[in-house]
Each structure stands twice: as structure tokens, then as C-alpha cells.
Amino acid sequence: MTAKRVLALCIALAGLGAGAAWSQAICGLSAGGGIGRLQQQLTRDGSAADFVYAAPGAFFDAELDFGRWYMNMSLAVLFAPFDATLGGDAVDLSGYSPNSAADLTAIGIGALFPIGDRLSAGGAIGFHVAAPALSPGDGDESKLAFEGYYGLIGLSFTPRLRYALSDSLALTLSIPLGIDFGPMSEDIVINGIDTGYDSPAIVRPWDLKPEFMGFTAGVYLTVGYFFPLSR
């Protein structure tokens, strides 16, 4: 069973579990921003050529709370990088479109514990996707590019600190940490050879070889609105 199928199965099972407790759940929708860093392992001619992308970004989170326990999905979209390197050398991304990276927790399960009247702390473990999206605007195949369905799948741990502004509003500090160890798409285009599959993952220049290992980290502050699903 591929990583994609395992991830889809886990999301489906989690959704069924949430449905069973729907009537008691509190829904939370949050948005904000912060800073994130994505690092992925690649090699060139047998030597390490890791890719690093650090940038500010927007952060979105949706959760279902069942008392202290919760399930959530979160997405960080990074853009306008202040640090982009390949093998330790700076990469000029001017003129690139898209020029972004996604840090997604597809499904997380965790808990928050009160540590004061309005303050709570905890965290969640989840299934993780990290996907840079870089394409040179001039189509130059000698330039760095991550296109198509390129991305890595793994696990994440997200510590959280939450301050309740009221019964329905809260500030949340999230620190998602992801460890990735598998391809989002197994249909990789290497050395310019088109596999013919429907979901190719393209990495350029062609002498770059993805090792499908990576790490992400971020710090994000969000404000959220919380409401019962059943009144």
C-alpha cells in the first residue's frame, strides 16, 4: 500500500470517528500568519544538495474539539522567501511563478490541557505533507524547479499554546514540526524522461535526485472563532 493510500485511509477513518461524536463537538476556524522553514534532501552527482526555503506565510487551521481532545487540519502557505538555497548556495527566485511552499497537516489528533483560567497548552500528532512549488517564469530547464505533484509525506508534531479571549474567540500559538520520508507522488520525472503517468512530479535541473527525506518547522499565531456544531 502506497503512502498516499495510507494517508487517505487514515483521513477517512478519522472522519468517521468525528462523525460519531458530531453532536458534542465544538468547531474552531482560525487564521493568521508567521514564519516557516522547509528543508528537503537531494543529491547531485552523488553529493548532498539540500534545498532550503524559509519565508513568512499565512496559516489556516480547522478543528473539532471534544473536551480536551481535538482533531484538526492545518495549512501554512509560505511565500516571498528571505532564504532559499540549494546545496548551501543561494538561489535567485526572481521571476518565478509560482514561488511558494505548502506545509500541510492533513489530519492531526491531540489534546489541550488548562494551565490557568484562560490559558491552555498541548499538542497534536498528525500526517504531514511538505510541497515546494517553484517554476521559473522563462521556462529555462537549467534552473531549479519543483513542479507538478512533487512533495513529501510524513508525520508532524505541533505544540500549541492557546489563550481564550472569550467563550468564542481565542489566540493560538502553533509550532508545527514535520518529518517527511516518502514521496507524495511516485510518478517522478527524472533526467527529463516522461513516465506518462497522470500525476508526474517534476524536479529540475535534471541532474538533481530527490532522496524523499525532509524536515519542516514553523511558528504561527492565529485568531480563531469557536462554535458548537449542534445547539
pLDDT tens readout for residues 86-138: 999 999 999 999 999 999 998 899 999 999 889 999 999 999 999 999 999 88
Residue-averaged pLDDT of the chain: 88
CATH class of 3-228: mainly beta
Q: What would the pLDDT profile of 61-89 be if each residue is shown by its tens digit?
A: 999 999 899 999 999 999 999 999 999 99
Residue 63 contacts residue 70 (beta carbons within 8 Å): yes
**Cβ of 206: how many Cβ atoms within 10 Å?**
14
- Which residues have C-beta within 8 Å of that of residue 195, sequence separation ≥ 6? 187, 188, 189
Please give, one letter per residue, the 3-state secondary structure of 65-133.
EECCEEEEEEEEEEECCCEEEECCEECCCCCEEEEEEEEEEEEEEEEEEECCCCEEEEEEEEEEEEEEE
Residues pairing with 140 in the sheet = none
- HSE at residue 34, side-chain half, CA atoms within 13 A, is 21
Residue 124 contacts residue 110 (beta carbons within 8 Å): yes
Q: Which residue has the cell 499565531?
A: 221
Strand bridging mode 96-114 / 169-174: unpaired
